[in-house]
Amino acid sequence: MYHHIKKLMYTVKVDSPDPRFGNMLLEQFGGANGELAAAMQYSIQGLNCEDPQRKDLLMDIGTEELSHLEVVGTLARMHLKPMKQQQNGAEVDPLIAIAGGGGVSLFNSMGDAWTADYLKITGELDVDLRSNIAAEARAKIVYERLINQCDDPGSKDALQFLMTREITHMKAFTLALESLGKNQFSIGKIEPTPGLVDEYFNDSTGEGDEGEKDATGPWNSGGHWKIVETRELQQGVENLESSGGRKRGKEQEKLRKTA
């Protein structure tokens, strides 16, 4: 059950309303990485969750994001309100000015309606937590960019509050994931095919227009990594085909570096 308290989680003050900035703020109201997306992603994961501990976590943060939605919506509205009266306001965002009367609605900064396609919900707790960690990282960087575009001190304060909370949530989700005690690369129950799982396919080759070359790093060399070249991969498949096999064989792998 939800309860609304007639008080913003962070009081908002705007000294100089700027419809252009208000329009940008909508990215965090009805945008892909905005507060409704966060609120819905966590709350619905929580509704589906069967781990009572982490269900509480999901509901706590899901609810906090609803309060953030209210803060960022109020902030955007303060910047957008003049749009109804002024012609230059209507130029900035006719959808808000003409159809919305200068009020906010669930659109992003380009006037795209919010869609649940933004959400990542799988019903697999550790997978959902990974999606949430990434979501918080995205929300943080978007708030940072908004702060960099903003001159109004009151708006900056509110955005700093909201941005900070994303890091809080990112920490909480990370610790909740780690405390599940699962192997970092173990997802679900079916094991990946040994050998194949350590092959790195070098599918982009040659030298780029700005001198880019094939790179190596911990993601494809050292440890168990084996780099497989596209041509060899193709050749290997052909060999296998002609000998009646259906699976990719060991002979098609080519070790390049294992440093």
| Cα end-to-end span (Å), the chain | 57
- The residues near 190 (Cβ < 8 Å, ≥ 6 apart) are none
CB of 112: closest distance to its own copies in angstroms? 6
- The residues near 193 (Cβ < 8 Å, ≥ 6 apart) are none
Residue environment code for 69-78, b if the CB has 16+ CB neighbours within 10 A, otherwise e = bbbbbbbbbb
Beta bridge partners of 200: 227
User: Is the distance from CB of 146 to CB of 24 less than 8 angstroms?
Assistant: yes
Q: Residue 247 or residue 250: which is nearer to its own copies going by CB?
A: 247
Name residues contacting its own copies, limited to 173-232 (CB under 8 A): 173-176, 178-179, 184-185, 187-190, 192-193, 196-209, 211-215, 217-220, 230
Name residues contacting its own copies, limited to 140-159 (CB under 8 A): 140-142, 144-147, 149, 154, 157
CA 161 – CA 182 distance, rounded (Å): 33
Q: Does 123 bind its own copies (CB under 8 A)?
A: yes
Name residues contacting its own copies, limited to 26-45 (CB under 8 A): 27, 30-33, 36, 40, 44-45
Distance of CA 106 to the CA centre of its chain: 18
CA 57 – CA 44 distance, rounded (Å): 12
Q: Does 115 bind its own copies (CB under 8 A)?
A: yes
Q: Does 15 bind its own copies (CB under 8 A)?
A: no
By CB under 8 A, the count of residues binding its own copies is 156
CB of 115: closest distance to its own copies in angstroms? 5
Of the residues 14, 38, 78, 163, which one makes contact with its own copies according to CB under 8 A: 163
Q: Does 67 bind its own copies (CB under 8 A)?
A: yes
Q: Does 116 bind its own copies (CB under 8 A)?
A: yes
Q: Does 119 bind its own copies (CB under 8 A)?
A: yes
CA 256 – CA 259 distance, rounded (Å): 9
Q: Does 256 bind its own copies (CB under 8 A)?
A: no
Q: Does 249 bind its own copies (CB under 8 A)?
A: no
* CA-to-CA dists, residue 213 to 121, 206, 216, angstroms: 37, 6, 10
Of the residues 35, 38, 79, 131, which one makes contact with its own copies according to CB under 8 A: 131
Place of tokens 């269900």: 55
Q: Residue 207 or residue 255: which is nearer to its own copies going by CB?
A: 207
Q: Does 258 bind its own copies (CB under 8 A)?
A: no
Helical axes 52-80 vs 35-48, angle rounded to 10°? 160
CA 252 – CA 192 distance, rounded (Å): 19
Name residues contacting its own copies, limited to 68-107 (CB under 8 A): 70, 73-74, 77, 84, 87, 90-91, 93-95, 97-107
CB of 30: closest distance to its own copies in angstroms? 6
